[in-house]
Structure 1
Amino acid sequence: MTVPATSRQTRTFEDRADALAHFFLRAGEAPRLLAYDDAVGCPLDQGLAAIEWTGAVGILAQDDLIHAARLGADAAAAVVERKDADQRVFIYFGPRMDAPPADPYEGTLLYDEPGVRAYIFAQRVHAIAHFLRATHGLGAVISMLGRRAPELRHIRRWLQAVFAEPAGETTSTQMLAGWFATSGTGVLFLPRQPDQPYTYCEIGVDI
Structure 2
Amino acid sequence: MTLPATSRQTRTFEDRADALAHFFLRAGEAPRLLAYDDTVGCPLDQALGAIEWTAAVGILAQDDLIHAARLGSDASAAVVERKDGDQRVFIYFGPRMDAPPADPYEGTLLYDEPGVRAYIFAQRVHAIAHFLRATLGLGTVVSMLGRRAPELRHIRRWLQAVFTEPPGENSSTQMLAGWFATGGSGVLFLPRQPDAPYTYCEVGIDL
TM-score, normalization: structure 2? Answer: 0.99
Q: Specify the code of the residue in structure 1 equivalent to 2:145.
A: L
Q: How far apart are residue 100 of structure 1 and its match?
A: 3.1
Q: How far apart are residue 3 of structure 1 and its match?
A: 0.6
Instruction: Quote the Cα distance in structure 1 between the aligned partners of 2:21 and 2:102.
Output: 37
Aligned positions of 1:13-162 closer than 5 A: 13-162=13-162
Percent of pairs with identical residues:
90
Q: Specify the code of the residue in structure 2 equivalent to 1:17.
A: A
Residue number in structure 1 paired with 2:12: 12
Runs of 4 or more consecutive aligned structure 1 residues displaced over 4 Å after TM superposition: none
Instruction: Quote the Cα distance in structure 2 between the aligned partners of 1:157 and 1:133.
Output: 30
Q: How far apart are residue 45 of structure 1 and its match?
A: 1.6
Instruction: Quote the Cα distance in structure 2 between the aligned partners of 1:167 and 1:98.
Output: 37
Secondary structure in 1 aligned to 2:45? Answer: helix
Instruction: Quote the Cα distance in structure 2 between the aligned partners of 1:73 and 1:137.
Output: 15
Instruction: Quote the Cα distance in structure 2 between the aligned partners of 1:181 and 1:71.
Output: 20
Secondary structure in 2 aligned to 1:100? Answer: coil
Q: Any stretches of 5+ residues in structure 2 without a counterpart?
A: none
Deviates more, 1:112-121 or 1:95-104: 95-104
Structure 1 residues 76-117: Cα deviation after superposition (integer angstroms, max 9, x where no partner): 000000000000000000000112312100000000011100
Instruction: Quote the Cα distance in structure 2 between the aligned partners of 1:149 and 1:101.
Output: 26
Structure 1 residues 22-70: Cα deviation after superposition (integer angstroms, max 9, x where no partner): 0000000000000000000001121111101011111000000000000
Residue number in structure 1 paired with 2:183: 183
Q: How far apart are residue 162 of structure 1 and its match?
A: 0.2
Deviates more, 1:22-31 or 1:97-106: 97-106
Aligned positions of 1:164-179 closer than 5 A: 164-179=164-179
TM-score, normalization: structure 1? Answer: 0.99
Deviates more, 1:197-206 or 1:95-104: 95-104
Instruction: Quote the Cα distance in structure 2 between the aligned partners of 1:203 and 1:149.
Output: 19
Instruction: Quote the Cα distance in structure 2 between the aligned partners of 1:176 and 1:70.
Output: 13
Instruction: Quote the Cα distance in structure 2 between the aligned partners of 1:155 and 1:88.
Output: 20
Q: Any stretches of 5+ residues in structure 1 without a counterpart?
A: none
Q: How far apart are residue 168 of structure 1 and its match?
A: 1.3
